[in-house]
Amino acid sequence: MVVGAGIGGLSVAALLARGGVEVEVLEKLSSPGGRARTLRVGEYKFDMGPSWYLMPEVMHGLFRELGRDPSDYFKLKKLNPSFKLKVGERDLEVPSNVEELLQVVHRVERGAGSKMSVYISTVKQMYDLALKKLLYRPFESLIDIIDPEILKEVRSLNLLSSLHNFNRKFFSSDLLLKLVDFSSVFLGGDPYRVPGLYALVNYPVLGQGVFYPEGGFGNVVESLVSLGTELGVTYSYEEEVVGVEVKGDRMSAVRTSKRRVEETCSCSTPIMFTRSPCCLTTTGTSVPNTGKRRPWLLPLCWPTWD
d(CA 206, CA 163): 16
Give the pLDDT confidence score for residue 237 in this predicted structure: 96
What is the band of 86 on the pLDDT scale with cuts at 50, 70, 90? very high
Give the pLDDT confidence score for residue 145 in this predicted structure: 66
Give the pLDDT confidence score for residue 300 in this predicted structure: 42
Give the pLDDT confidence score for residue 281 in this predicted structure: 43
User: What is the percentage of the chain residues whose pLDDT exceeds 90?
Assistant: 63
CATH number of 2-76+217-274: 3.50.50.60
Q: What is the mean pLDDT of the chain?
A: 85
Give the pLDDT confidence score for residue 286 in this predicted structure: 40
Give the pLDDT confidence score for residue 290 in this predicted structure: 44
Asked if residue 134 has pLDDT above 90, the reply is: no
Q: Where are the alpha helices (DSSP H) in 51-147?
A: 56-65, 98-108, 112-133
**Residue 158 identity (one-letter amino acid):** N
- Tens of pLDDT, residue by residue over 254-276, are 889 999 988 776 766 665 455 54
- Higher confidence at residue 131 or residue 154? 131
Note whether 17 and 6 are within 8 A (CB). Answer: no
Start-end of CATH 3.50.50.60 domains in the chain? 2-76+217-274
Q: Which of 90-94, 132-136, 300-304 has the lowest mean pLDDT?
A: 300-304
- Tens of pLDDT, residue by residue over 214-223, are 999 999 999 9
Mean pLDDT to the nearest integer, 280-294? 41
What is the band of 116 on the pLDDT scale with cuts at 50, 70, 90? very high
d(CA 192, CA 168): 11
What is the band of 99 on the pLDDT scale with cuts at 50, 70, 90? very high
- Higher confidence at residue 22 or residue 135? 22
Stretch (H or E) spanning 41: strand 38-41
- Tens of pLDDT, residue by residue over 155-205, are 777 778 899 999 999 999 999 999 999 989 888 889 999 989 899 999 999
Give the pLDDT confidence score for residue 189 in this predicted structure: 86
- Tens of pLDDT, residue by residue over 34-61, are 999 999 999 999 999 999 999 999 999 9
Vertex 241: Cα angle to 235 and 242 (nearest 5): 165
User: Is 84 in a helix, a strand, or coil?
Assistant: strand
